[in-house]
Every structure is written in structure tokens, then in C-alpha cells.
Structure 1
Amino acid sequence: MSGFFIILTALVGLCVAFAGVYFISRKIDNYGFVDVAWSYAFAALAFFYALVGPGWPVRRALISSMAILWSLRLGTHLCRRVVSHHPEEDGRYAQLRKDWKGNFAPKMFGFFQLQAASVVLLGLAFFIACLNPEPQLHLLEIAGAILWLLSVAGEATADAQLAAFKHNKANKGRVCDVGLWHFSRHPNYFFEWMTWVAYAIFAGASPWGWLGIIGPAVILFLLLRVTGIPLTEEQSVRSKGEAYRRYQKTTNAFIPWFPKKSS
């Protein structure tokens, strides 16, 4: 099976799957489930590449295991969050309903299809690694695996700290600024991005590995400029008001660092 046909098969399969998720989301009237589907889709993609890729089996098993474990952890975390709030929809999608009013259904269907395409684009690092026949691990691959482990642990810690903060009823309406959230307004996003950097480093040991940088580059753009921090912060300002504005003035948005003194 040629590389082009492998990618095309993956794209068609995911487009069909996301179309199904769209119709389910429409039926239950909660489009937040697209985040869950997006996260889990990487596990399916990595497994498919590992299954059909012609590369060294040990490398295929390692990169697919990294992707699958990350995907299942993030997907399960998001699924619990979306289900716990259902039928209340994530504020980002509630806002899109307003922004796309009058032409919402076709635009949202297109949005779901873009999610499918983004999974294939971002998963290029997995694909490249699964093509590499070299029968030994490169130092870049070992470094990528170590960074991946640290990044997944950091993201899981940030998610757990936020969940624990929200679970405490005394914190209702307050801004989470404890643990990693004391050093960044979005430590979960930072460590998620570092996970993609790890995949890019891992792929860098393979022919055409430089294409792996597409993943962290696209994720960084989305987090900083599109659906990540901008929409999340808009929602936080709407729900927490001045308290969140004070948090914005003292705490870095993305890279964890010591907070500034409040003026």
C-alpha cells in the first residue's frame, strides 16, 4: 500500500466517522462531543498507521503507543467533562450558534469535516515514523519519547488540578490559580503543545521527518489565535468578570512562569 493511499484511506475513514459524530451531536443537541471525537481519532489513526506502515515494528509500536495513550487519556477526560455538563453545551459552541445563526447546520458540518482533516494533517509525524525501516532507535526518538512522557504527565496534572478546584463548591465563580494554574492561565494547553513537539522530535529521525513540525506549528496557531486560548478566555471573562481580568494581568497566558505582582 503506497503512502498516498494510506493517507487517503485514513482521511476518507475519518471524514465518514466525523459525519456520524455530527449527526449524533445534532440529534442530542450538543456539539461539544466533537472535542471528544477529535481526541479519540488520533488513537484510531496511529493504530491504522502502525498496522499498515512498512517501517521497523519496534518504532511503529512505540510511536503508536505514545499517540494512543495520549489520545485515550485526553479523550476520556473530555468525555467525562462533556457528559457531566450535558445537556449544557460548552460555551465555545454556544457562541458559535450565535455567530453562525441562520446558516448554522452546514457550517457546523463543515467544521466537523475540518476536524477530521486536521487529525490527518497533525498525524503526519506518526505516519512518517511508521515508514522508517531503520532497525534501531535514534537519539532524537528517545528524546522525543522522554519529552512526551513529561508532557503527558504535565497535562494530566493540570487537568486534575482544575477538576479538583471545580469540584469544590466553595470555589464556584472563582478563578483557578492553584498548582500549575498559578504559573500559567492555560498549563493544560502548554503541555498539550509540548506533546506535539515531542512527536515532531521523534519524527525528526526519519526521512522527511521535518514535516513533523507541521503538528506543533498548527497546534500552536490554533491554541494562541483560534479555538484555544481566545475562545476560552472570552468565556472566562463572561463568566468570572473582573476576577479573571485580574488573573490575566498577573499570570502568563501560555508558558508557565512566575506571576507578576498585582498593581
Structure 2
Amino acid sequence: MDYQHLLFIALISLIACCTIMVLVWLWAKKIRNAGIVDVFWALNFPVITIITFFLAEGYEMRKILICAIFLIAELRLGIHLWQRVIGHLDEEEGRYQQLRREWGENADRNFFVFFQFQAISNVILAIPFFIITANTSTEISILEYVGLAIWAIAFVGEMVADKQLAAFKKDPKNKGKVCDTGLWYYSRHPNYFFEWLTWMAYFIFALASPWGILAIISPAIIFYLLTRVTGVPNNEEQNLRSKPEAYKKYQQTTSAFFPWKKGYKS
């Protein structure tokens, strides 16, 4: 494995992602909506995919497999987030409004730094991808097939969870209610769980490559962010503000992250 070449690919990817985030920051500053960073955080991964596919020196079939699933997953997420954000470009999400209030006159500067950190996180999280595409072995191992199978389950699960929630919110009869049907019956955040499972699939896939164990950093970071920083905590706070009684009852009976039977809380 040529580590210098891997670092070169990572550097090119970082420059591309940081440049994109500068342009996104300029747009966000103009429309005063920092929420668009979420969309382009997801869409930076397809950019990394294209760069790596053409520059990596690994086995062609392996590159096609990992690039295809990575591209499909992140384009789906990016398009989903775009559809969610584009409908209210004139209304910034609550968590970004709160940051804007806390940062005051330094908000634009701090958002610039925040956007750049998002670009850096894109490259760090792509570590499994860099490792896999550098593997020159011409044999696809059982671990890679297991990774593909887990990815397929995670991809379908996240897509179904997102569609179930969107359909629930679209029905005016559900205003003020908590979505607790379908996958949301077993977890308060099945979409986040399946997003994390996607990254676990990349890690398992990477284990078949030299130094693949380093890929654990990606699902570990995603798990921490989703359960402790931006995912579950922010969503829970928002739901408790908008429908306190119904959501407290939901919290008492339903697992927070891992899908499980009623009455168990993770």
C-alpha cells in the first residue's frame, strides 16, 4: 500500500471539500441560513468518491463496489436533506438559530470555522474508503461480502425510516403527535441508527484490507456525534419543546437509538 499516494488523495479531497464549504458559507451568509451546511456535508462525500475512484490504485472491481455503494448512500442522504432544507431556506433550523444568538456579532466568522471543520470531518470519515480503494488484492473476501450485505440492510432501513417520518408529518391529522409507527415503533431515531450501521458496514468491508482496523474511527465518530452531540440530543430537545407530554411518554417506552421491543430504553 502506497501511503504517500493515500495522503495525496486525502489532501486533494480536503482541498476540494474546504473549497466547497467556503462557497457554501458565502451562500449561507447571504441568505442567513447555516442549515444548508448539512446538505453539502453529505454531498461532499460523492466528491471524495469521484476523486478517489480516479486516483486510487487498488483493484478495479473493489473500487467499483465501494465507490458505488458510497455514492448511492451519500447522494440519497444529500438529496433527502436538500428536499428538507430547500422548503424553508428563509427559515433557519432552531439549532443554528441558537448558535447565531450565542455567537452574536461573531456568528459569521464562527460559522466559517464551523463549515471548515465539517469539510475536515468529511475527509476523516472517509478513512475506510481510502483504505479500501488502495487494496490491490484481486480476491473479494467474505468480510467484504458481509459488509455489502450490512450496507444493503442499513440503506433500505434508513430510506424506509425517512419516508415513514415524512409521510407522518405530511398528514395534518398528526400535528402535535409523535411518530411511533413502523420502524419508529422500535426506536425513537431509527434513521440515525441505520446511518450509523452504514458506517459500520464500511468498517467491516475495510477489515479485509491492510490496516483496515483503522477504519473503526468512522463508525465511532458517527456514533458519538449521533448519540451525544448533534443527532439524538438536538432532536430530543426539539420534540420535548414542541410536544412535551406526548414525547415524554414516547421516551418512557421506546429505545432511543437501537431498535428494540417496547419498554426497553437504550
- The TM-score, its normalising length taken from structure 2, stands at 0.95
Counting only pairs closer than 5 Å after superposition, residues 83-98 of structure 1 correspond to structure 2 as 83-98=86-101
Inter-partner Cα distance in structure 2 for 1:25 and 1:78: 15
1:116 deviates by 0.2
Which of 56, 59, 63 lines up with 2:59 in the alignment? 56
- Tell me, yes or no, if the aligned pair for 1:184 and 1:256 is still in contact at 8 Å: yes
Partner of 1:102: 105
| More displaced stretch, 5-14 vs 193-202 | 5-14
- Tell me, yes or no, if the aligned pair for 2:31 and 2:89 is still in contact at 8 Å: no
For residues 1-59 of structure 1, what are the alpha-carbon distances to aligned partners after superposition, in whole Å with 9 as ceiling and x for unaligned? 72211111111111111111111111111111111101111111112111100000100
| 1:18 is aligned to 2:21 | yes
SS of 2:104's equivalent in the other structure is coil
The residue type equivalent to 1:130 in the other structure is T
Partner of 2:176: 173
The residue type equivalent to 1:26 in the other structure is K
SS of 1:55's equivalent in the other structure is coil
Which of 188, 191, 195 lines up with 1:188 in the alignment? 191
Counting only pairs closer than 5 Å after superposition, residues 145-160 of structure 1 correspond to structure 2 as 145-160=148-163
1:74 deviates by 0.5
For residues 133-180 of structure 1, what are the alpha-carbon distances to aligned partners after superposition, in whole Å with 9 as ceiling and x for unaligned? 001201111100110011000000000000000000111121111111
Partner of 1:112: 115
The residue type equivalent to 2:207 in the other structure is G
| 1:240 is aligned to 2:240 | no
Which of 39, 46, 58 lines up with 1:43 in the alignment? 46
1:102 deviates by 3.5
1:79 deviates by 0.4
| 1:4 is aligned to 2:7 | yes
- Tell me, yes or no, if the aligned pair for 1:92 and 1:232 is still in contact at 8 Å: no
- The TM-score, its normalising length taken from structure 1, stands at 0.96
SS of 1:101's equivalent in the other structure is helix
Inter-partner Cα distance in structure 1 for 2:262 and 2:30: 44
Percent pairwise identity: 48
Inter-partner Cα distance in structure 2 for 1:222 and 1:120: 16
Inter-partner Cα distance in structure 2 for 1:128 and 1:3: 8
Counting only pairs closer than 5 Å after superposition, residues 64-83 of structure 1 correspond to structure 2 as 64-83=67-86
For residues 67-92 of structure 1, what are the alpha-carbon distances to aligned partners after superposition, in whole Å with 9 as ceiling and x for unaligned? 00001101101100101233122222
1:103 deviates by 2.1
The residue type equivalent to 1:151 in the other structure is A
The residue type equivalent to 1:221 in the other structure is Y
Query: Which consecutive residues of structure 1, in runs of 5 or more, have no partner in the other structure?
Result: none
Inter-partner Cα distance in structure 1 for 2:177 and 2:91: 20
Which of 215, 224, 232 lines up with 2:227 in the alignment? 224
The residue type equivalent to 2:136 in the other structure is P
Inter-partner Cα distance in structure 1 for 2:228 and 2:102: 17
1:107 deviates by 1.3
The residue type equivalent to 1:249 in the other structure is Q
Which of 142, 145, 149 lines up with 2:145 in the alignment? 142
SS of 2:105's equivalent in the other structure is coil
Inter-partner Cα distance in structure 1 for 2:116 and 2:216: 23
| More displaced stretch, 82-91 vs 196-205 | 82-91
For residues 217-259 of structure 1, what are the alpha-carbon distances to aligned partners after superposition, in whole Å with 9 as ceiling and x for unaligned? 0000001111111111111111112211111111111001112
The residue type equivalent to 1:226 in the other structure is V
Partner of 2:124: 121
- Tell me, yes or no, if the aligned pair for 1:129 and 1:203 is still in contact at 8 Å: yes
Query: Which consecutive residues of structure 2, in runs of 5 or more, have no partner in the other structure?
Result: none
The residue type equivalent to 1:33 in the other structure is I
Inter-partner Cα distance in structure 2 for 1:60 and 1:195: 17
CA RMSD of aligned residues (A): 1.2
| More displaced stretch, 46-55 vs 153-162 | 46-55
Partner of 1:253: 256
SS of 2:87's equivalent in the other structure is helix
